[in-house]
Structures are given as structure tokens and as C-alpha cells.
Amino acid sequence: MKEQVLKVKAGMPKLILFILLYLAAIALIILGGFLLDGGSGALLLSAGILWVIIGFIPFLGLKIVKPQEALVLTLFGKYIGTLKDPGFYYVHPFSVAVNPAAKTRLGQSGDMDSSPKLTLSPSGNVMQSNGLSKKISLKIMTLNNSKQKVNDVLGNPVEIGIAVMWRVVDTAKAVFNVDNYKEYLSLQCDSAVRNIVRIYPYDVAQGIDTTGDGEPDEGSLRGSSSIVAERIRKEIQDKVEDAGLEIIEARITYLAYAPEIAAVMLQRQQASAIIDARKMIVDGAVSMVEMALAKLNENDVVKLDEERKAAMVSNLLVILCGNKDAQPVVNSGSLY
């Protein structure tokens, strides 16, 4: 289905014409009342009354379109075009505006209305049944998808949430190609998140290929969030192309291990941090001991045999690598 944009704006002249016709019908009724005794009076009276009864029908063809709004119109089941430019239009009075997603209100999006009563649909979207409008919003809206629990490439359960900025670019596709383009978008977001997240580890892991080139890399959900979000955006865009939607941006709004393994993963991260810190301390301590022995030997301060050097190295390493401050012991006797 290809979108056809209607450009004719004849709302104001038609409105003036219909008002004049109504005034003319009232005048005919009054004039027919005065001439009721003659044959022409009854005819004028009947014509005036008939137009007063059915004269409201042409008014049904008057349509007002605000900026960043659209109306998809059908006439007896046939698509006749879309009103997209802001203005005052006149179309066929029996044309009907179609918007199958009028009842759906996506959480945190621009079409949320807090005044009517809201309920949740089975897919987690907010539903609204009061004050519906058949107009389709062309604004950039935000879908804040609920958090999902997904297993990463290592099988660890991860909770992730995304926010997707999107808009309707082809109203005909959005209305006629899918049953409900908002529900369709929400489901495709869930699917895309699962497809992409399962490729990456939460943290950098050895031997994992996240780009598909057959070579291990350092990609991860936590360290490559912008790349992951862009891949999610492309995945969603490919799915919703036929629905006339454009995905402008996708962002990861929440990322964490699932509660059942969060404590264990925290302990592992703490252990890894302690090991890395210890390695740094040991490397620094060895360098300081080497420097001390070299300075003593260079300045010829004291002559130490191998046994004394070993004792000195042991003492220095204990002092430098210990968790607590050293308690010095003063030797008042001879070194030997």
C-alpha cells in the first residue's frame, strides 16, 4: 500500500457555502409559510425542511489537521488518501478516518493521556478506551520498553531495558500493512533485544566473537553499550520497515545481572579487583627492592652476602606487601 497525500484545502469556502445554504433553507421555510395557500408555498416549505434535515451531511466532510498529525481516509472500504499537511480540508462526507492503533497508548510516549482510565494490555502496553482520536501522530515518540531477562552469550541471566525513539513516516503502511503498528513495534523491540543481547557477554570474556568476523574481540554489553544499542536499532528498523515506521535512536536505559546471580557476580568482580590490586602491589614492591639493593651496592654502604640479601628482600617484601603497617624491631646487637 503506497501513501497518497491529499493536498486540496477547500474547507473554509465549503463551510461558508454550507452555512449560506442553511440560511437559504430557513428563508425558504419562512417564505413557504407565507405562501402556503398557493401551490408554490408548499413546495418551497418542503424543500427548506428537507435541507434542514439532511443539510448536516456535507459538514461531515470538513476536517481539521494540526501540525504533525495525519488522517488516513477510506471511502466505502477503499483507501482514498492521507491528510498530512496542517490545514482545513473538505473531503467526501462519507469518508472515514482509520487508525487501528487509536486504543493503544505506549508507556512514556508522546501519545500518553493521563485523564482517561488506563489499563494494561497483555503485552505490557498501556491501553485507553476513552476520548479516542483517529488522527495519527507524526511526532517523534518514545517507547520505554519494560525490563527483560535475557541470557547473554555465556548463559548468565541479564536484565536489560531500552528506550526507542520512533515516528510514523508512511501512514498507509502503518494502518494497512499491520494490525496495530504500536503493538507491532513493541513486540519487535522485545525480539530485537533478545536477538542482540544473546550475542554479547555482560563483561569482556576471552574467546568471544561479538562481531561475526570469526575473531575474538573485547565487545561486551557493559563496555560497548553504544554499539549494542545501534545494532538493536538496526534490527528493529529492519523489522518495522513494512509498517511505515522509522527508528531514530535506541538507548540502553537499564543493564544489570539478574537478582539471582547478582551477589555471586559481585563477589567475582571484587575478587578480580583484589587480584589485580595485589599484582600491582607485588610488581611495585619488587621494583623497590631491586632499587634499594642497587643503591646500596652502588654507594658501597654495606657489604651483604647472599643470605643477608635474602633476609633483607624478605623483610622488605613483607613490609611493602602487607595489609597493615609494619612494627619495627630494633636490633641492638651485631648483625652477625
Kindly list the domain boundaries of the chain, sorted by start residue.
11-97, 138-257, 264-321
Residue 168 burial (10 A CB sphere; 0-12, 13-18, 19+) = buried
Task: Give the residue from 176, 181, 173 showing the smallest Cα distance to 103.
Answer: 181
Q: Comparing 40-49, 226-235, 247-256, which segment has the lowest mean pLDDT?
A: 40-49
Cell of 136: 495519527
The residues, any chain, with a CB within 8 Å of residue 290's CB and separated by 6 or more, are none
Q: What is the mean pLDDT of residues 187-196?
A: 92
Backbone angles phi and psi of 55, in degrees to 5: -70, -15
CA end-to-end distance (rounded Å), the chain: 99
pLDDT at 79 over 80: yes
Can you say how many angstroms the Cα of residue 132 is from the centroid of all Cα atoms in its chain? 24
Fold of 138-257: Tetrahydropterin Synthase; Chain A (3.30.479)
Give per-residue pLDDT as tens, 258-304.
888 767 667 767 777 778 777 887 888 788 878 877 777 777 766 77
Q: What is the pLDDT of residues 166-190, one digit of tens each?
A: 999 999 999 999 999 999 999 999 9
C-alpha to C-alpha distance for 279 and 321, rounded to whole angstroms: 10
Hey, is 237 helix, strand or coil? helix
For 270-279, give one letter per residue: b (16+ CB within 10 A) or e. eeeeeeeeee
C-beta atoms surrounding 208 within 10 Å = 17
The per-residue pLDDT for range 152-163, each reduced to its tens digit, is 888 888 999 999
Where does the pLDDT of residue 120 fall: very low under 50, low under 70, confident under 90, or very high at 90 and above? very low
pLDDT at 99: 92
Q: How many residues does the chain have?
A: 336
For residue 65, pLDDT over 80 is answered with yes
- Phi-psi domain of 52 (left: phi exceeds 0; alpha: psi -120 through 50; beta: other): alpha
The DSSP symbol for 145 reads: P
Cell 497508548 found at: 105
- The pLDDT score that the predictor gives to residue 167 is 94
Of 69-73, 181-185, 290-294, 315-319, least confident by mean pLDDT is 315-319
Q: What is the pLDDT of residue 329?
A: 64
Distance CA 191, CA 207 (A): 26
State mean pLDDT over 250-258.
90
Percent of the chain with pLDDT over 90: 36
Instruction: Quote the CA–CA distance of 12 and 87 in Å, as a whole number.
Output: 10
**119 Cβ contact list (under 8 Å, min separation 6):** 126, 127, 128, 129
Beta pairing partners, 245: 168
| SS3 category, 256 | strand
Q: What is the mean pLDDT of residues 93-109?
A: 81
3-state SS, residue 61: helix
Q: What is the pLDDT of residues 121-145, one digit of tens each?
A: 444 444 444 445 789 999 999 998 8
* pLDDT top residue among 245 and 330: 245
Concatenating the DSSP letter of every residue in 164-197 gives EEEEES-HHHHHHTSS-HHHHHHHHHHHHHHHHH
